[in-house]
Structure 1
């Protein structure tokens, strides 16, 4: 049965007023990407783009180049992050321009990134820039906004039902009421919805589908297909003592210990995966080409997946594909996180080190359906 590879897409690469206000005139994700520095020997930083360059997603040429590259290497469609804060949207211009341009014909879906907007870009996640607030009125306004997009002929569907992903359902005061509102409003417009949510290994009841949803999406590298990456990271890096005390000529000298960064070997990620059949819900698998958010967080990265290579990525993707049996002819998604998360060292797009090799791995694994 055919599988549809979906690449998660960050539409952040263009200036917009809020970023100008918060970070300085002209700030985009590229600002952080270009200034990253290696933290230790053989640490791959900075990640710099090759084929597509430092693009601006307001330009049709840039968006078209992305789509052409994705098609050539077997990506079925993009899952764009959608930023909605009680009617206020962020990073929407690339998607709005695509919707008006029939030449941009790559299939797409949306994932509502329903968290507070914080200073995560520089590692300060506690300073909230825009708060996410939930209400009955906002549920109605939001679905009214989304329904025309769902009717776009390029929008990805399951059995003619538009697919929408909610990033974190657990932060809603009553997610079931939101889903009920959305489904009723969609029905009035002649649509049924196929609603998914992400799952993370650090959440309670991580292996269960939230009531009211149709399916879940494993969110790598913090997914549920193996032991938590954070647990593995902790076990590999027991916090060292802050100083080493040496006695030299009767004096006590404190020497700093070499800093240990939050890292896990990339190869470990694709090994010992829990089988799809062991989950008692519809769970779409995912994987990452890499992860390293040094460019955002400096010397305090959340996680570094060390020694990612196209060969290890291909092995992981091969394992995921071999294990995945689609739930129906249309319920056949494998998500790749991400197409262009450059500031997380997490991108299928070609870079100066590996070129198109990650994309070539995708094309090779899915060559039987091209």
Structure 2
């Protein structure tokens, strides 16, 4: 159990069961596991594929799976899940797990929702190319949308801040008039006996927007923060030329490879804003299972480094004034195809969960300092690459 005054909430991806839309777009039986199992290491020391341990290749339609996840999270100090919620003009997608949680009352574990309000595209980027499902915003839809959430908000397990249901929006900058949307949501919630809402914007692509200026209460750091990644490894013009003639793997010029230490340190050094912003951390990140080009790959992450970053974030949250909720958000519980998961895998087992527990229960313990390589070329990694290549490692260009 977690005795810390700071509560950790983990983002939760529901895309681990087949749905007709994914069958049509990606092939019969597609789930997130389809991408996970296709991943391969792209360079020496690259940790892929990420394969599950304790829970196996689960199906979220099974109640026993959802129960096991809640028990595991509770054991290691996680205070709740934040389920991604998908709404496209009265159309819900991947709603089955949350519907079952609401209808059965199980598992008995706190939760909240985050509206992932991007377009669905074939590039997994939420952009405008090859759109599969498009977001079309209107204030009429705002009313329909918030009404659809009332059954969740009324659930006794739903996470509340000062009695207000906690609701996140992944990209408020895509809303045509976020302040008006927030006003409509609050009015409808109050009118229907829910009470006021606690609205939070996720700082995922556009940062440093004071949430109060758009009618929201707070912000959450998305980790990784794409504006604070630190230098990319092997992205110099010289190495690009060397890659083009086959002397260096094109994976480094075709993707963003970043050292985990640099990411963690860059985010910990961010200036404190003049609004409420909850810290965010990630145990790792590597979406090369989803993207064959321009993937973001963070190397050299370990449970110890993650524990240090999380402990620092917990200390930051614990310093909030008495009126501010003491929350930290972890990305994520089960984003397997993006390489960021607390659920046990075959390489680390429960180590990341144990690191979470340790940071929550003793955030002030002395820990090793994260290391940043001063040279963006990162000569250590370059020499390791050459060594491995000379002893027989063959890389696909």
User: Normalization by structure 2: what TM-score?
Assistant: 0.84
Separation in 1, partners of 2:245, 2:174: 45
Say which of 310, 313, 318 aligns to 1:320.
Answer: 313
Label 1:329 to 1:358 Cα distance change in 2 as closer, same or farther (>3 A).
farther
- CA-to-partner distance for each residue in 1:104-128, whole Å, 9 max, x for gaps? 1110000000011111349997210
Given that residues 84 and 90 in structure 1 are in contact (C-alpha distance below 8 angstroms), is that contact kept between their aligned partners in structure 2?
Answer: yes
Given that residues 5 and 76 in structure 1 are in contact (C-alpha distance below 8 angstroms), is that contact kept between their aligned partners in structure 2?
Answer: yes
Separation in 2, partners of 1:123, 1:330: 32
Label 1:174 to 1:31 Cα distance change in 2 as closer, same or farther (>3 A).
same
Q: Which residue of 2 aligns with 1:188?
A: 191
Q: Which residue of 2 aligns with 1:6?
A: 9
Separation in 1, partners of 2:268, 2:303: 22
Separation in 2, partners of 1:88, 1:157: 26
Given that residues 218 and 283 in structure 1 are in contact (C-alpha distance below 8 angstroms), is that contact kept between their aligned partners in structure 2?
Answer: yes
Say which of 257, 261, 266 aligns to 2:260.
Answer: 266
Given that residues 118 and 126 in structure 2 are in contact (C-alpha distance below 8 angstroms), is that contact kept between their aligned partners in structure 1?
Answer: no
1:281 corresponds to 2:281: no
Given that residues 33 and 295 in structure 1 are in contact (C-alpha distance below 8 angstroms), is that contact kept between their aligned partners in structure 2?
Answer: yes
Say which of 155, 158, 179 aligns to 1:155.
Answer: 158
Q: Shift of residue 211 of structure 1?
A: 2.2
Say which of 89, 92, 111 aligns to 2:92.
Answer: 89
Q: Which residue of 2 aligns with 1:353?
A: 347
Label 1:255 to 1:3 Cα distance change in 2 as closer, same or farther (>3 A).
closer
Label 1:155 to 1:256 Cα distance change in 2 as closer, same or farther (>3 A).
same
Label 1:125 to 1:24 Cα distance change in 2 as closer, same or farther (>3 A).
farther
Separation in 2, partners of 1:168, 1:139: 15
Q: Which residue of 1 aligns with 2:228?
A: 228
Q: Shift of residue 276 of structure 1?
A: 7.8
Q: Which residue of 1 aligns with 2:236?
A: 238
Q: Which residue of 2 aligns with 1:208?
A: 210
Partner of 1:162: helix, strand, or coil?
Answer: strand
Given that residues 67 and 104 in structure 1 are in contact (C-alpha distance below 8 angstroms), is that contact kept between their aligned partners in structure 2?
Answer: yes
- CA-to-partner distance for each residue in 1:292-350, whole Å, 9 max, x for gaps? 0111112x243111011101101111111122223436712100000000000010000
Partner of 1:181: helix, strand, or coil?
Answer: helix
Label 1:348 to 1:125 Cα distance change in 2 as closer, same or farther (>3 A).
farther
Partner of 1:77: helix, strand, or coil?
Answer: strand
User: Which contiguous aligned blocks of 4+ residues in structure 1 show a shift greater than 6 angstroms?
Assistant: 122-125
Label 1:272 to 1:33 Cα distance change in 2 as closer, same or farther (>3 A).
closer
- CA-to-partner distance for each residue in 1:125-146, whole Å, 9 max, x for gaps? 7210010001121011001111
Separation in 2, partners of 1:330, 1:107: 19
Structure 2 gap segments, 5+ residues each: 364-397
Separation in 2, partners of 1:290, 1:301: 17
Q: Shift of residue 34 of structure 1?
A: 0.6
- CA-to-partner distance for each residue in 1:137-160, whole Å, 9 max, x for gaps? 101100111112101000000000
Structure 1 gap segments, 5+ residues each: 246-252
Q: Shift of residue 102 of structure 1?
A: 2.0
Q: Shift of residue 237 of structure 1?
A: 2.0
Given that residues 326 and 333 in structure 1 are in contact (C-alpha distance below 8 angstroms), is that contact kept between their aligned partners in structure 2?
Answer: no
Q: Which residue of 2 aligns with 1:137?
A: 140
Label 1:275 to 1:331 Cα distance change in 2 as closer, same or farther (>3 A).
farther
Separation in 1, partners of 2:81, 2:324: 16
1:217 corresponds to 2:220: yes
Label 1:176 to 1:72 Cα distance change in 2 as closer, same or farther (>3 A).
same
Q: Which residue of 2 aligns with 1:165?
A: 168
- CA-to-partner distance for each residue in 1:180-208, whole Å, 9 max, x for gaps? 110110111221100000113x52x6253
Partner of 1:14: helix, strand, or coil?
Answer: coil
1:21 corresponds to 2:12: no
Partner of 2:129: helix, strand, or coil?
Answer: strand
Q: Which residue of 2 aligns with 1:336?
A: 330
